[in-house]
Structures are given as C-alpha cells and as structure tokens.
Amino acid sequence: MDHSKQENASPEDHDLELKLPHLVFTKTVRELYSKVVNEWDSLKKSACQTAAGRALWKHVIHDPLADVLAGETYLRNLHEKIKKDRHNNAREISGVILAVRTLWFDSKIEAALDSFGGAAQVVLLGAGMDARAYRLNCLKESDVFEVDFPEVLHVKAALLQAALESTEHLRLMAKSLTRVAADIRENDWLEKLQISGFVPEKNTVWVLEGIIYYLSNSQAMQVLKIVADKCTLTHTVLLADFMNKASTTLSSSIFHFYSDWPDNLLPSLGFANVKLSQIGDPDAHFGLMHDPLNLFNKLRNLPRSIEINPDDGTPCRRLYLVQASGSPNQTISLSSIPM
C-alpha cells in the first residue's frame, strides 16, 4: 500500500457513517459478543478495542476480519470518539497510535522474516484478535503461534469460523497457525508453547504488541528474559512496544510495567542489537504524522530525558516501538545499563 498519498488521512475522510458488515449482526456473532461485553474483564476486552482500531483505520490497514473480531460495541465506541475528534479539529485522531503501531509491527515482521531468509516461527504473545496469520503474505513460510487466555482464543476461533463460512476469499496466509491457551504471568507458558509444536532451536520472531505493560515488573522481566535466552540458541527477533513511566499513569490500575530506556534494558538481558523508534519517526510514520505540531512529533523532538513537556506542562507520555535481535554468534554491542 502506498502510504505517501495518505498524509494525515483519518477514517472520517473516507467513511462519515459507520457501515458494519452483515456478519456483525448475525445471531452467532451477537451471542459471542454478549459474552465478551458482559463477562470479560478489561484486560481481555482490550483485544477487541485494538481490533476496532484496525477496522476503523481500514483505509491504511487491510484487515478484512477486524470488524467481526472487534464487535459492534467497540466499533461504535471508537467511531464516536473519532467523530468527536473530527468535529473538534483535533490534531490527533483516536486510533492513530494503533494504526501506526500495527503498520510498524507488520513492516518489522516482514523485515525480520526476510533477514532469516527462510522458514521461521512467529510467536504472538497476547495475540488477542490479531488476524495477521490471515492477512500477511510474508508469513507464508512461517509457523505462527498465538498465545492468549483460553476464553479469548475460544471466542476468536468461533468468530473466525463464522467469518470463514460466510466469506469466500478469506484464507490462512501463514504456513500453519496454532493457538496456545496460556497465561504468560505463569511459569508454564513456554512449556505449553513447546507442547504445541514450538521448537526453541528454530529462527523465531517474537511479537509482543500491546501486552507487556499489562504485566507487573517482575512478570514482564521474566517474559523478556525467557525470550532473550533464546538468542543463545538461534536467530531471535523481539518486536515490542514499551510505555515509559509517565504513560502508565494514564491508568495505574491497568498499566504496570514500564521502561524509560528499553534500548538499554534489552542489551542487559542478552540482545545484541536494539533499535528504538517513536511514533512519527521515519519508520513509524506511514503518512499519518504529517502535522509537525501534533503531539507525537512534538514529543519525539524533545530529549527522552525530559519528563514534563515545557510547552504545556503535561507529562511526556511516550510509546516506544522496539526491535531487538540476537543470535548465538553475536556479541553484545551496547552497554548493559538496567532500566
């Protein structure tokens, strides 16, 4: 997709009214979603909210399953926010972070698989309603593993079944897809992954998108160490988004783990190469960050050590997009400074 032609495009430039596919209103899908809305906690519901972002930014993200995986409630909620933002001429339209984040992960997954030059594994921790296995052609030689809570994976499988039955052109793009029900706060998730077919010695891309800050500091560090340890066995790429400390104050009951310097933390765990991007940087732009005065462009132009924005006195809330890699033959090139 050519992102250069979409400078600052927001969903309303294309769709003033919310048009939902018929499938969203079918009995099966409605029943599944009443369970989500009435029984799931906010952690699990976040899976549907991110899918709603992909669905409503469909002019830049091609995810034909996002509508049905998001469900009517979350689509309407986000659509209302976007309408308000447009009405108020907001510089940042709701969902733009999700759109950029999705496109950044898509591009880095493809680049990592290219760098391996052959068959690989892709593990999505906290996969939620991610449909990459159905939408990314670059996964055609990859075995994909989706790890999430059993309730999330169960509803996802049922929604996908309904979508695949009603739409002819949807098909699995990945070589294989395996869903692994596990809680990554527990210490048996890696074993469950291996029992499901994951091979630690095979080249692997680990995708931790919108997940790590929901964990406590010790849980997150444990997960990162488990992934980092794989660098001693095989080519390993970690793709993850990190909140800085100020971002976790957006909801201190939901967000816990943070790192202000993930580019120092990850080498200390064993990754040889780490690259950090911020929303709006050349590789995290995608034609959606045209206004130099939008929040993200202002933030990335301030030194990362600055905690309070001198323009308006607000905390500098940052989301870091981080790629890290390692392999048995590499030496660690960056200094090992803890958080």
Residues in contact with ligand SAM by CB under 6 A are 43-44, 46-47, 50, 126-130, 147-149, 152, 183-185, 209-211, 214
Cα dihedral sign, 221-223-228-229? positive
The answer to whether 324 and 224 have CB atoms below 8 angstroms apart is no
Q: Give 154 or 245: the residue with its C-beta nearer to ligand SAM.
A: 154
Q: Give 128 or 270: the residue with its C-beta nearer to ligand SAM.
A: 128
CB of 254 to ligand SAM, least distance (A): 10
Cite the DSSP H helix spans in the chain: 27-39, 42-56, 66-70, 72-87, 96-116, 132-135, 150-166, 189-195, 217-229, 245-248, 262-269, 295-300
Give 171's DSSP letter.
-
* Matching residue, tokens 């052959």: 118
User: Rounded to whole angstroms, how far apart are CA atoms 130 and 293?
Assistant: 31
CB of 44 to ligand SAM, least distance (A): 4
Q: Give 213 or 267: the residue with its C-beta nearer to ligand SAM.
A: 213
Q: Give 58 or 91: the residue with its C-beta nearer to ligand SAM.
A: 58
CB of 156 to ligand SAM, least distance (A): 9
CB of 333 to ligand SAM, least distance (A): 29
CB of 311 to ligand SAM, least distance (A): 30
* Matching residue, tokens 């390692």: 326
The amino acid at residue 192 is K
Q: Give 67 or 130: the residue with its C-beta nearer to ligand SAM.
A: 130
CA distances from residue 115 to 58, 243, 248 in whole angstroms, order as listed: 28, 27, 34
CB of 195 to ligand SAM, least distance (A): 16
Q: Give 147 or 269: the residue with its C-beta nearer to ligand SAM.
A: 147
Burial 282-307 (b: 16+ CB within 10 A, else e): eebbbbbbeeeebbbbbbbeeebeee
